[in-house]
């Protein structure tokens, strides 16, 4: 029989090195902890000096409040901090750091020198320690008000950890990204970075909107601001502001996504889900949105003490936060029109404050409630200028809305309970006569006026900026898709009873969740019956989804409801079906259009939500300015 091992206290050095494994992963981890301490001290300027990607040297100097000489040894001890005193402070954390472990962890795996001076001290003091010798040495030093921390030879006493470090460039890239995030979080602080003696980043304090936008442009690149939508919405104790990139500025990687909660950079799955949902049908497959967003909430309703590196947070009412983020971004992206894209924003300007369903005050099936509009609005949508012809077509002009296409789209709608009713509007009088659509009082609309059709695919138009190219099928597809969604929201979803009800085995928590959301499921056309503690019967599903796997769909929706308090899977299935219908009903390539028909399409694009992208996220139009055209022909040289 094996003898029981004795329980002993870990030595301070070993305990700190274990803690360092949670906090100090690479030079970027060190710089994050040091910069957060500087910001918490009230610094307004921070200088960072790095050598060999941070492995040889990391030096951070700030002009903050400093540390008293008698507190210097304690600053390097574990669980010693000036930022919280009791449980009440922990429940309303305002500082970036609060655990009191960072300096102790860093000093256990590196050579650390900390020099500091407070405003009321006549001289500065310095404390020095090395990884294996945990006894700090304190002595007087020369230093202005503030603090400098110098970290040398990271992992010098733990060679196994050092072997896991990447190349100098890779480590410096990670370190630089940390500084970028903190520079976005604190516009009121100047940041300066030098690497191997060369200046890499120099960001001055940003006190107004234009200076903040300039800093965002430096960090994210000028292209981001040129294609970003400014956001500023406040509701129910939540305030969201910043910039969201238009779908046309998507990325192949999720490397330009900055989200801050009360000034703390976080990577939260609830936030990621809400943003992904908002961009759902405007992003091309495999692309990632870009954004710099700041969420301000009462510190008492968010828990930042859920992860050693403080990258994750937990909201007291995650459902409300999710719906607020989704509703705000969804409406913001929907309301972008061609005229907005032609006038690039350079600073934050307030959006019209939404309310009700528009603001995200809706249940798990967010978009269906969101799409439902007053009858007057729906009537306005359906009576907008249309380029759809009569069932018999227009003969020689080559009108693209013939009887075959109309029947192909109308049949499924009739089967779905009249969702397509009043969908196809008559062709405008101007289109049927072949006349052009004149500008009102000499004004040129955002997408201008059609000039010609190219290869039966593209519309060429002239606007105030130059030449506009439109993919007529993609644009028409988006217009039809948006009208179908509005029509479906107004008509509602009819149910399709199953001949043989399907039994679904679940956990008791999932079955309870289904009962809790029974009314919501019913509105969507589902009928669920609980047969036992862990069993449901599916008796009815939405008519539009009669080909879907009912068991799998309900199980996936319940999983989402339990994880996020919301689900967009049903809406995603419905949108996919409506998108297919819109694609089949949209004008096909090689259809010849009259000038008036092209102009009618352009006018509809200017009033249709998300008209900048087709249902699959591809762009529907692009602008070539006169200056770009001049460059093609070397004019002005």
User: What's the pLDDT score for residue 336?
Assistant: 84
Q: Which residue has the tokens 């729906």?
A: 378
437 located within any domain: yes
Question: Where does residue 122 fall: left (phi above 0), alpha (psi -120 to 50 degrees), or beta otherwise?
Answer: alpha
Give the single-character DSSP code of 52. G
Q: CA 213, CA 44: separation in Å to the nearest integer?
A: 19
Which DSSP helix (H) or strand (E) runs through 217? helix 209-220
**Can you tell me whether residue 543 is helix, strand or coil?**
helix
**Can you tell me whether residue 535 is helix, strand or coil?**
strand
Residue 227 vs residue 463, higher pLDDT: 463
Q: Are strands 198-203 and 190-195 parallel, antiparallel or unpaired?
A: antiparallel
Give the single-character DSSP code of 528. E
* Final residue belonging to a domain, choices 327, 361, 395: 361
Give the single-character DSSP code of 544. G
**The two structure tokens encoding residue 337:** 């029109």
Percentage with pLDDT > 70 across the chain: 74
User: Which candidate, 485, 492, 524, 421, places its Cα nearest to that of 615?
Assistant: 485
Looking at residue 186, which CATH number applies to its domain? 3.30.565.10
5 located within any domain: no
Tens-digit pLDDT profile for residues 350-389: 444 334 333 333 333 343 333 333 333 333 333 333 444 3
Contact present, 203 and 215 (Cβ < 8 Å): yes
Same domain, 411 and 485: yes
Helix axes 27-40, 168-185, angle to 10 degrees: 20
242 located within any domain: yes
Same domain, 488 and 581: yes
Same domain, 246 and 288: yes
Tens-digit pLDDT profile for residues 522-534: 877 788 999 999 9
Tens-digit pLDDT profile for residues 394-427: 333 333 333 323 333 333 433 433 433 333 333 3
3 located within any domain: no
Same domain, 352 and 391: no
User: What's the pLDDT score for residue 324?
Assistant: 94
7 located within any domain: no
Q: Hey, CA dihedral for 630, 635, 636, 637, is it positive or negative?
A: positive
Q: Hey, CA dihedral for 427, 429, 432, 438, is it positive or negative?
A: negative
Contact present, 268 and 312 (Cβ < 8 Å): yes
User: What's the pLDDT score for residue 82?
Assistant: 57
Asked if residue 142 has pLDDT above 80, the reply is yes
Most confident of 19-33, 264-278, 592-606: 592-606
Same domain, 151 and 297: no
Looking at residues 126-142, what average pLDDT do you find?
Answer: 81
Contact present, 223 and 312 (Cβ < 8 Å): no
**The two structure tokens encoding residue 193:** 């970075």
Asked if residue 624 has pLDDT above 80, the reply is yes
Q: Where is average pLDDT lowest: 163-167, 436-440, 534-538?
A: 436-440
Contact present, 191 and 46 (Cβ < 8 Å): yes
User: What's the pLDDT score for residue 429?
Assistant: 38
CA angle 268, 274, 280 (to 5 degrees): 130
**Who's near 438: CB < 8 A, 6+ residues apart?**
none
User: What's the pLDDT score for residue 268?
Assistant: 84
What φ, ψ does residue 622 adopt, rounded to 5°?
-145, 155
**The two structure tokens encoding residue 190:** 């100047």
Q: Where is average pLDDT lowest: 125-134, 191-200, 624-633?
A: 125-134
Same domain, 403 and 543: yes
Distance of CA 496 to the CA centre of its chain: 36
- Reported in sequence order, the residue ranges of 190-286 that DSSP labels E, i.e. its strands, are 190-195, 198-203, 228-235, 238-245, 257-261, 264-265
pLDDT range class, residue 562, cuts 50, 70, 90:
confident
Asked if residue 483 has pLDDT above 70, the reply is yes
Looking at residue 539, which CATH number applies to its domain? 3.30.1540.20
Based on C-alpha coordinates, what's the Rg of the chain?
30
Looking at residues 291-313, what average pLDDT do you find?
Answer: 80
Q: Are strands 57-62 and 291-296 parallel, antiparallel or unpaired?
A: unpaired
Give me the chain's average pLDDT, please. 78
Most confident of 341-355, 389-403, 510-524, 562-576: 510-524
Q: Hey, CA dihedral for 53, 57, 62, 65, is it positive or negative?
A: positive
pLDDT range class, residue 19, cuts 50, 70, 90:
low
Contact present, 510 and 551 (Cβ < 8 Å): no
Looking at residue 288, which CATH number applies to its domain? 3.30.230.10
* Final residue belonging to a domain, choices 361, 379, 407: 361
Q: Where is average pLDDT lowest: 75-79, 313-317, 454-458?
A: 75-79
Neighbours of 507 (CB within 10 A): 12
DSSP letters for 579-599: HHHHHHHSPPTT----HHHHH
User: What's the pLDDT score for residue 561?
Assistant: 79
121 located within any domain: yes
**The two structure tokens encoding residue 558:** 């319940």
Q: Where is average pLDDT lowest: 89-103, 484-498, 584-598?
A: 89-103
> DSSP 3-state helix, strand, coil percentages of the chain (rounded to 5)?
40, 20, 40
633 located within any domain: yes
User: What's the pLDDT score for residue 416?
Assistant: 39
* Helices of type H across 41-93: 72-75, 87-90
Q: CA 257, CA 154: separation in Å to the nearest integer?
A: 29
Same domain, 371 and 306: no
1 located within any domain: no
Tens-digit pLDDT profile for residues 603-612: 999 999 999 9
User: What's the pLDDT score for residue 195?
Assistant: 97
Q: Hey, CA dihedral for 196, 197, 199, 204, is it positive or negative?
A: positive
Same domain, 187 and 218: no
Tens-digit pLDDT profile for residues 55-113: 999 999 999 999 888 888 877 766 566 555 555 555 555 656 555 577 888 888 899 99
Asked if residue 148 has pLDDT above 90, the reply is yes
**Can you tell me whether residue 604 is helix, strand or coil?**
helix
Quote the domain boundaries for residue 128: 12-203
pLDDT range class, residue 637, cuts 50, 70, 90:
confident
Same domain, 346 and 379: no
* Final residue belonging to a domain, choices 332, 361, 390: 361
Ordered strands of the 45-51 beta sheet: 137-141, 124-129, 111-117, 146-152, 57-62, 45-51, 190-195, 198-203
Same domain, 445 and 566: yes
Asked if residue 140 has pLDDT above 60, the reply is yes
Helix axes 269-278, 318-334, angle to 10 degrees: 30
Helix axes 472-491, 569-585, angle to 10 degrees: 130
Same domain, 311 and 415: no
User: What's the pLDDT score for residue 149?
Assistant: 94
Same domain, 21 and 60: yes
500-503 CB contacts, 8 Å cutoff, 24+ apart: 501/529, 501/537, 501/538, 501/539, 502/537, 502/538, 502/550, 502/551, 503/531, 503/535, 503/536, 503/537, 503/538
Q: Specify the number of domains making up the chain.
A: 3
């Amino acid at each position: 029989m094996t003898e029981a091992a004795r329980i002993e206290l870990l030595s301070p050095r070993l305990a700190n090195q274990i803690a360092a494994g949670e906090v100090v992963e690479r030079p970027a981890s060190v710089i994050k902890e040091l910069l957060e301490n500087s910001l918490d001290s009230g610094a307004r300027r921070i200088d960072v000096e790095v050598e060999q990607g941070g492995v040889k040297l990391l030096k951070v100097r700030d002009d903050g409040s400093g540390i008293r000489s008698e507190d210097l040894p304690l600053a390097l001890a574990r669980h010693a901090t000036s930022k919280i005193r009791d449980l009440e402070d922990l429940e309303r954390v305002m500082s970036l750091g609060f655990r009191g472990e960072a300096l102790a962890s860093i000093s256990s795996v590196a050579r650390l020198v900390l020099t500091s001076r407070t405003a009321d001290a006549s001289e500065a003091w310095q404390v020095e320690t090395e990884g294996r010798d945990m006894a700090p040495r304190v002595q007087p030093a020369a230093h202005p008000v503030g603090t400098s921390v110098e970290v040398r030879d990271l992992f010098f006493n733990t060679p196994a950890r050092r072997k896991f470090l990447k190349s100098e460039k890779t480590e410096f890239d990670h370190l630089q990204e940390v500084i970028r995030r903190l520079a976005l979080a604190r516009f009121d602080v100047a940041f300066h970075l030098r690497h191997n003696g060369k200046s890499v980043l120099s960001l001055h304090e940003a006190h107004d909107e234009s200076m903040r936008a300039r800093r965002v442009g430096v960090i994210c690149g000028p292209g981001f601001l040129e294609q970003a939508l400014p956001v500023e919405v406040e509701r129910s104790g939540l305030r969201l502001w910043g910039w969201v990139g238009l779908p046309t500025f998507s990325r192949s990687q999720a490397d330009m996504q900055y989200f801050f909660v009360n000034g703390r950079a976080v990577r939260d799955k609830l936030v990621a889900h809400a943003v992904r949902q908002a961009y759902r049908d405007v992003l091309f497959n495999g692309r990632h949105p870009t954004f710099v967003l700041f969420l301000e909430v009462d510190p008492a309703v968010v828990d930042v003490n859920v992860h050693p590196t403080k990258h994750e947070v937990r909201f007291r009412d995650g459902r409300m936060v999710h719906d607020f983020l989704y509703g705000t971004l969804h409406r913001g992206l929907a309301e972008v029109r061609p005229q907005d894209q032609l006038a690039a924003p350079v600073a934050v300007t307030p959006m019209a404050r939404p309310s009700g369903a528009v603001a995200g005050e809706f249940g798990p099936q967010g978009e269906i409630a969101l799409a439902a509009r007053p009858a007057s609005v729906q009537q306005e949508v359906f009576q907008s200028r249309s380029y759809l012809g009569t069932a018999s077509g227009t003969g020689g002009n080559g009108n693209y809305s013939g009887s075959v296409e109309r029947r192909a789209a109308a049949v499924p709608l009739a089967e779905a309970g009249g969702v397509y009713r009043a969908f196809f509007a008559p062709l405008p009088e101007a289109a049927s006569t072949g006349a052009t659509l004149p500008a009102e009082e000499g004004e040129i609309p955002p997408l201008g006026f059609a000039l010609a059709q190219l290869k039966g695919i593209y519309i060429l138009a002239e606007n105030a900026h130059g030449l506009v190219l439109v993919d007529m099928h993609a644009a028409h597809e988006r217009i039809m898709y948006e009208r179908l969604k509005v029509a479906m929201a107004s008509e509602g979803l009819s149910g399709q009873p199953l001949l043989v009800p399907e039994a679904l085995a679940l956990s008791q928590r999932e079955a309870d969740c289904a009962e809790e959301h029974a009314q919501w499921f019913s509105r969507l056309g589902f009928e669920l019956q609980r047969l036992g503690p862990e069993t449901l019967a599916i008796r009815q599903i939405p008519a539009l989804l009669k080909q879907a796997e009912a068991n799998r769909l309900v199980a996936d929706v319940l999983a989402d409801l339990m994880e996020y308090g919301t689900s967009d899977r049903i809406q995603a299935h419905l949108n996919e079906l409506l998108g297919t219908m819109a694609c089949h009903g949209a004008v096909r390539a090689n259809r010849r259009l009259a000038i008036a028909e092209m102009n009618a399409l352009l006018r509809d694009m200017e009033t249709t939500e998300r008209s900048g992208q087709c249902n699959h996220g591809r762009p529907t139009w692009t602008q070539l300015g006169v200056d770009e055209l001049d460059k093609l022909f070397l004019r002005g040289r």
